[in-house]
């Protein structure tokens, strides 16, 4: 009995390692992995493996963020298919305020990113590109605003479709705590 339990633990640990490698090592243009990929490498019970991995990562200040597809019916109770189509990322548990490195943005870019993301959310995740650029142009020059928008698109914070409709990109969905952002904006005077 004891041998069987230890064997099962070892198998689970192997699966957790595979899942961790899959999530951490970037193979395509976007980091993380889809549910399909995790199921292939970690087995049918990949969600259980993810749950265990999540609890291990918590001690390091990390967590696994699941970004469900846009057409998910019930966000609180997704279906099996929706879990398979979702993307899984490793993110920090809390905002990195004490990090030594400056990050990839200066203060102006960060402010523009904040304004852009808030604007997109205010427009229910479907904003007009020209309107967004006009908003940024109230504080920065025209050429700078176009450059900023292109940078945010390249990094994955925003997506721009062929009809010039701007939405939140994969990185914004993975990294941004929208509810917290809305609360902070609501209480700011």
Partner 1 sequence: MDTSDELNQIIELSKAVLERKIDPLKLNVRELLEKIDAIFPKLKDIEEHLKDVEAMHGIANILHEQTHELNYRSEIMYLSPEAMIEKIKKMDPITLANILILCLNPVLSTSYLSTESLLNAIEYWYAMSKKKEQKEERSPNVVSINLEELGIIGKESLAKIEELAKEITSKTPINLKEMLAGKSYEEKIQTLYFLAYLISNGSFILKEIDDEIFVDRGKSSYKGSIIIEASKWAKE
Binding site residues, partner 1, CB under 8 A = 24-26, 31-32, 62-63, 65, 75, 89-97, 107-108, 110-115, 117-119, 121-128, 131, 135, 138-139, 163-165, 171, 174-186, 188
List of residues 6+ apart from 72 with CB closer than 8 A: 78, 82
Query: Is the Cβ of residue 12 or residue 91 nearer to partner 1 in the bound state?
Result: 91
The answer to whether 145 and 94 are in contact (CB under 8 A) is: no
Is the Cβ of residue 49 or residue 127 nearer to partner 1 in the bound state?
A: 127
Cα–Cα distance measured from residue 109 to residue 111, given in angstroms and rounded to the nearest whole number? 5
Identity of the residue, 7 or 154, whose beta carbon is nearer to partner 1 in the bound complex:
154
Least separation in angstroms between CB 176 and partner 1? 6
Q: What minimum distance in Å lies between the beta carbon of 181 and partner 1?
A: 4
Distance separating alpha carbons of residues 26 and 98, to the nearest angstrom: 25
DSSP state of 91: E
């Amino acid at each position: 009995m004891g041998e069987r339990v230890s064997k099962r633990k070892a198998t689970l640990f192997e699966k957790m390692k595979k899942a961790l490698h899959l999530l951490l090592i970037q193979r395509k243009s976007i980091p993380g992995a889809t549910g399909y990929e995790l199921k292939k490498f970690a087995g049918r019970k990949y969600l259980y493996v993810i749950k265990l991995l999540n609890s291990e990562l918590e001690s390091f200040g990390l967590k696994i963020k699941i970004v469900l597809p846009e057409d998910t019916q019930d966000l609180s109770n997704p279906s099996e298919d929706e879990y398979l189509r979702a993307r899984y990322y490793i993110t920090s548990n809390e905002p990195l305020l004490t990090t030594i490195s400056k990050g990839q943005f200066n203060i102006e870019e960060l402010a523009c990113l904040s304004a852009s993301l808030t604007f997109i959310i205010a427009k229910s995740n479907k904003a007009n590109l020209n309107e967004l650029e006009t908003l940024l142009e109230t504080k920065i020059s025209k050429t700078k605003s176009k450059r900023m928008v292109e940078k945010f698109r390249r990094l994955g914070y925003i997506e721009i479709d062929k009809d010039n409709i701007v939405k939140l990109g994969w990185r914004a969905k993975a990294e941004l705590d929208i509810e917290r952002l809305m609360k902070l904006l609501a209480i700011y005077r």
